[in-house]
Structure 1
Amino acid sequence: MVGAGADATTLRCSGCSAVVRGASGARLEGVTVVGDAHEDIDGVLCADVTDFAIEGVIIRDCSWSGVALDRSAATIRRCIIVRNRCAGVFCSGESPGPIRIESCTICENSNEAGVNAWHGAVASVTNCILRANGHGAFSCSEGTIVESWNDVDGSECGIDPEDITADPLFRDAAAGDYRLGSMSPCIDAGDPSSPLDPDGTRADMGAIVYDQRIPFIRGDPNRDGKVDIADAIAVLSHLFLSTRLPCANAADGNADLRLDIADAIAVLQHLFAHGDPPPAPFPEPGIFDAPGNPGCRE
C-alpha cells in the first residue's frame, strides 16, 4: 500500500493491526498508522514475510508494538515510530532475510526497548534516533542487534563507539514535531558512508532530514531581496576582486551552473535591455536542485 503521504493518509487500527502475512515484495509507504488505545494490538504486524518495505510511515499511539516482525525480513526506512505502549520495533524468530532499520526516529515507546531482537532475530540499525523508550534503545533476548551511528540513551545490548548519547533537540516532541532543531547534534552525524542527504550534506540521524539549503532569488547575490545593478556589481567584484558570495546559486544569473561574466551580463540585460528575467527561483525566493548545484546553505 502506498499512500499520498503520512500527512494525508491515515490508517486507524481499531480492533486489528495492519497485517502482512506470508507475502514477498509487499510495501507500506506514505501513511500514518494510529493505534487503538483500548486493545492490545500492534500497529503493523508481519508474519512469515520474505521481503517487506516500510518507508516514510508514521506509527504512533498503538496499544502494543509499533512494528512486530515474526519470522519476517523487512527494511524499515525514514519512519517515525513513537508513543506506542510496548516496543517501537519488535523482531522475533529467525527471518528468511535481513532486517534493516535505517534513518528512523523511534522514541517514547513505553514498556519495551526501541528495537527488540528476540528468539533468533537479527536486526541492523543505522542512522536512527532511539530515545526515551521504556527499556533503552535496544533489547536482545536470544537475538542480535548490529548497530552503529545512532543517537541512543542506553541499551541492554551495549552501544557502538560510533553512537552518540546527546539530546537530539527535536523542535517540539511533546507536540509530535520530531524535526531536528538547528542546533541538533544529529545533523550531519550519521554514517559517513551512507548516501548524502538531499541537500548534499552528510547523512543526518533520524527520519526527517534537516535541510541546510536556504531559499534565494536568482540574480540577487547581495541578498537584499531585489535584483538591481548592485547585484551585477557584486558578481563582477567576486570575479575580479575575489569578494565573497554567500550563495553561488543567487549569483548564477543565467542558471548554467557556472559563475562568469555572463551572469552579470544577464542581470544587466534584464534590467536595462528588456532581456529575459532570471530563471527560477525568481522573483520569489526558492530552492534550486540540479546536478553539480553549488547550493546555498546555512
Structure 2
Amino acid sequence: MTKAVRYDEFGGIDVLRIDDIDRPVPGHGQVLVRVKTAGINPSESVIRTGALSDMFPSTFPSGQGSDLAGIVAEVGPGVGGYAPGDEVIGFSETRSAQAELVVVDAQNLTPKPANMPWEVAGSLYVVGVTAWGVVQAVEPKPGETVVVSGAAGGVGSLAVQLLRDSGVTVIGLAGEANHEWLRGHGVIPVAYVDGVADRIRAAAPDGVDAFIDTFGDGYVDLALALGVPLDRIDTIADYAAAAKYGVKTDGGAEAGPGGVVLARMAGLIAAGRLELPIAKVYPLAQIREAYTELERRHTHGKIVLAI
C-alpha cells in the first residue's frame, strides 16, 4: 500500500484526505516514480470545487496535483532512457502527483539537474510551462515595456525573469513585501493599491507595450486603460474578461510539448539564469494547511509538499 491525496466530492479544503491505496503499476511507456516533492497550484483548488468540471471532468475518488519530482522506482515495458534510481522531474496528466508513488508517462519526465533543490524541482512544471507560455503569448521585443500582475507569485516570478532575460523593461505589480525581491531581479515594482494606473504611467512614460495578468480581479481592464492592444494582453486568471474583450488566455498548453518546455526551464534554473522562489514546504500530512496558505493568495513563490 502507498499514500495518496484523495477526495470523494467537489468542495473546499475540508474534502481532502490522505488514503492508503494499492501500489501503482507502470504500463507500456510509463515510469513509476517515488515522489520526493510535489508542488501545489491555484488551479487545483478551483478544479476541486467543481467550478471547472466542464473543462476538467472528475471521477471519484479523485487524486490531485500535476507537479512532481522524485526517484524512478520501476520502468514499464517500452521505456528507454530511464532506470530505477534516476532522479527526475515531471508531471502527472491524471491529477495524481500528490502521492508517495505515481505512474507517469516517460515523455512527461526529464532528468533532474544535480544542483537543483528537490523543492524547486517538484514545483516547476505548472508554473514553468505556464510562465513560458504567457511570455511567448505577448511576443516581447527587446526595449519594450511589459507589465505583469501577480509578479511575485509562482507564475509571475518566473515570467518577469524570462522577460528580463529577453531584454524587456518589466513593471511588476505586487505587494510591498515583495518589492525588494523584484528590484533585485531588475523589475520595477508597483504596489496593488489605488492609483495603480497613474504609477504605471509614471514608471513607463513611453507607454506599455504588453500586459500579462496572472492574478485576475480587474487587471485586463487596467491593461486596456493603459492602451495595451488586445492582441498583446494575456490573462490566465480572468476568463470572463477575456471572453468579453477578446484578449488572449494562452498558458501551458500553448507553450509547446510539456516535457520539452520543462527540460528547457530546468536548464535555465540549473544555469542560474532563473530562480524559482519557494514560499513554504509542508509535509504531505498537512495537505489542508498547505492549501489554506495557498488560497490566501499572498505568498511569494511556490508552496511545496515534501513526501
For normalisation by structure 1, the TM-score amounts to 0.29
Q: Which has the higher contact order (CA 8 A, sep 6+)?
A: 2
For normalisation by structure 2, the TM-score amounts to 0.29
Query: Rg bigger for which structure?
Result: 1
